[in-house]
Amino acid sequence: MSQVALELKNINTTVNIGTPEEKRILKDLNLTLEKGDFVTLLGTNGAGKSTLLNVINGSLNTTSGQVVLNNHDLTKLSEVKRAKYIAQVFQDPKMGTAPRMTVAENLLLATKRGQKRGLKLRGLKKHLAEFKEETAQLPNGLSDRLNTFAGSLSGGQRQTLSFLMATIQKPELLLLDEHTAALDPNTSHQLLELTNKVVEKENLTCIMITHQMKDALKYGNRTVILNDGKVVLDVKGAEREKLTEEDVLKYFAN
C-alpha cells in the first residue's frame, strides 16, 4: 500500500509584494508525492521550478498554502528546522560544502544534520574507515582525498561530495536543483547514475530539476512539468514510458 510522503496544498507564492516588481510565481499549485517517488521536474525558465524547491526547503515563504511532509506540517517551520528532514544539492558545486574543511570533516558534519550541537570531541578518527568505504564506491577518486580541503576539489568531486553529504543520513526528502548542470558531460552522467542508484537503493523520496528532457524521461519513476507556476503534466508508469521528447516540448509553449 502506497504511503503519502509530501503534500503541497494550494501553494501560492508572490515575491516583491508591494513593489513594482511584484510577481506571482506559483499559482494554486497542488502536488502529492508517495514515499519512494523519484520525480524529474521540467519547465521553462521562470516556470517556478527553483521557487517550488525553495518553498519546500523553507528558504522562501508561501503566500498561502501548506507544505506537509510525512504528516508533519512544515509550512511555518524555518529553513534550519526543515533541514532535519530535507536535504538539498544545488547547481553550484561551491554550495553545500565547507571549503576550509576536509572531505572527511564535511562528511562528519553531514552525519550530524538535524542534531543539537554541543561542545564535545568530534570523533573524526573513528569515522575515517567508514568514510573511506563510503567514498570508495563513488566516482572521481574521492576516497583518496579524505584529508583534502573541499575547496581544493574539482567541481565534479565537490558535487559528488555534496550528494554524499545530502544522502548519508537518508533524508525524508531529497531535493536536487540541477545538480549536474555545471559539470562536464561525462562527470554529469556519472553523478546522474550514482544519483539513480542511491535513490533506488535507499528508497528515497526525491525531486530532481533538470533541463535535459532525455534525463527527465530516463531517470526516476515520474515526470512533472511546470508552466507559468502550475503543474501542466504529471505522469508515471506506462503513460510516462510512451512519452517522447517531442511530446514534452508541447508543454513548454507559452
C-alpha cell at 43: 519547465
Q: How are strands ordered across the β-sheet holding 230-236?
A: 86-89, 173-177, 206-209, 38-43, 222-227, 230-236
pLDDT of residue 121: 42
* 3-state SS record for 76-144: CCCHHHHCCCEEEECCCCCCCCCCCCEHHHHHHHHHCCCCCCCCCCCCCHHHHHHHHHHHHCCCCCHHH
pLDDT of residue 116: 58
pLDDT tens per residue across span 11-36: 999 988 889 988 999 999 999 999 99
* 51, 62 contact by CB (below 8 A): no
pLDDT tens per residue across span 70-96: 999 999 999 999 999 999 999 988 888
pLDDT of residue 1: 64
pLDDT of residue 114: 60
pLDDT of residue 254: 59
User: Distance of CA 200 to CAs 65, 111, 171, 225, Å?
Assistant: 30, 21, 13, 22
Strands 72-73 and 64-69: antiparallel
Q: pTM for the complete prediction?
A: 0.92
pLDDT of residue 123: 64
Q: Is 1-85+172-254 a CATH 3.40.50.620 domain?
A: no
Residue 99, number of CB atoms within 10 A of its CB:
12
Report the C-alpha gap between 47 and 164 in whole angstroms: 29
Report the C-alpha gap between 142 and 245 in whole angstroms: 35
Domain positions in the chain = 1-85+172-254, 91-114+124-170
C-alpha cell at 76: 511555518
C-alpha cell at 109: 558534519
What is the distance between the terminal CA atoms of the chain, rounded to a whole angstrom? 38
pLDDT of residue 122: 58
C-alpha cell at 66: 501548506
Which stretches in the chain have pLDDT values below 70? 1, 114-123, 253-254
The DSSP H or E segment spanning 53 is helix 49-57
Cα atoms found within 13 Å of the Cα of residue 89, Cβ hemisphere only: 30
pLDDT of residue 138: 80
